Chains A and B, each alone.
Chain A
Amino acid sequence: MLSIKNLHASIEGTPILRGIDLEVKAGEVHAIMGPNGSGKSTLASVLAGREEYEVTEGEVKFKGKDLLDLAPEDRAREGVFLAFQYPVEIPGVSTTNFLRTAVNQVREYRGQDPLDAVKFLSVMKEKMKLVEMDQKLLSRSLNEGFSGGEKKRNEIFQMAMLEPTLAVLDETDSGLDIDALRIVSNGVNKLKSPDTATIVVTHYQRLLDYIVPDYVHVLYNGRIVKSGTKELALELEEKGYDWIKEEANAASV
Chain B
Amino acid sequence: MATAIKTDILNAFLDKIDESNFSSLKEKAQQRLRETGLPGIKDEEYKFTSILRKIEKSIENFSCAAASELSEEDVQESLPQGFSGDYLVINNGKPELNLSKISSQHYKVTLLSEAENQTLGSIAKIEKDPFTALNSASFADGLSISVDKNSKIEQPIFILLFNKANQGEVINSRLLIEIGENAEVSFLENTISLDERAYFANQVVEVKASPNSQTKYAKLQNESRNAITVNNFETDIHRDAVFTSTVISLNGDMVRNNLSLNLLDSGCEGNMYGLYLLNGKTHVDNHTNVDHTKPHAESNELYKGILTDSSRGVFNGKIFVRQDAQKTNAFQQNNNILLSEDATINTKPQLEIWADDVKCSHGCTTGQLDEEALFYLQARGLGRDQARGFLLYAFAGEIMEYISDDSFRQQVIDLVQERLGSQI
Q: How far is the CB of B374 from chain A (nearest CB, A)?
A: 9
A109 is an interface residue with CB less than 8 A from chain B: yes
Residues from chain B with Cβ under 8 Å of A93 in the complex: 390-391, 394, 424
Describe B's contact surface by its main secondary structure. Answer: helix
Per-residue CB contact flags for chain B residues 197-236 toward chain A (1 = under 8 Å, else 0) read 0000000000000000000000000000000000000000
Residues from chain A with Cβ under 8 Å of B375 in the complex: 49-51, 72
Residue among A97, A102, A109, A141 making CB contact with B380, cutoff 8 Å? A102
For chain B residues 382-422, which have a beta carbon within 8 Å of chain A?
382-384, 386-387, 390-391, 393-395, 397-398
B82 is an interface residue with CB less than 8 A from chain A: no
Residues from chain B with Cβ under 8 Å of A81 in the complex: 379
Flag if B381 contacts A162 (CB, 8 Å).
yes
B378 is an interface residue with CB less than 8 A from chain A: yes
Interface size of A by Cβ–Cβ distance < 8 Å?
31
B73 is an interface residue with CB less than 8 A from chain A: no
For chain A residues 65-91, which have a beta carbon within 8 Å of chain B?
71-73, 75-77, 81-82, 84, 87-88, 90-91
A233 is an interface residue with CB less than 8 A from chain B: no
Asked, given contacts A88-B373, A101-B424, whether A49 binds B379 with beta carbons under 8 Å apart, the answer is yes
Flag if B373 contacts A98 (CB, 8 Å).
no
Residue among B384, B423, B424 making CB contact with A73, cutoff 8 Å? B384
Flag if A49 contacts B376 (CB, 8 Å).
no
Cα distance, A33 to B424, chains bound together (Å) = 39
A92 is an interface residue with CB less than 8 A from chain B: yes
Residues from chain B with Cβ under 8 Å of A49 in the complex: 375, 378-379
Per-residue CB contact flags for chain B residues 101-131 toward chain A (1 = under 8 Å, else 0) read 0000000000000000000000000000000
A188 is an interface residue with CB less than 8 A from chain B: no
Cα distance, A80 to B327, chains bound together (Å) = 56
Flag if B384 contacts A71 (CB, 8 Å).
yes
Flag if A101 contacts B386 (CB, 8 Å).
yes
Asked, given contacts A51-B375, A72-B375, whether A90 binds B380 with beta carbons under 8 Å apart, the answer is no
Flag if A82 contacts B379 (CB, 8 Å).
yes
List 13 A-B pairs, Cβ < 8 Å: A51-B371, A71-B378, A73-B379, A73-B387, A76-B381, A90-B377, A92-B395, A92-B398, A93-B424, A101-B424, A102-B381, A105-B381, A105-B382
List residues of A whose CB falls within 8 A of some B CB: 48-51, 71-73, 75-77, 81-82, 84, 87-88, 90-93, 97-99, 101-103, 105-106, 109, 141, 158, 162
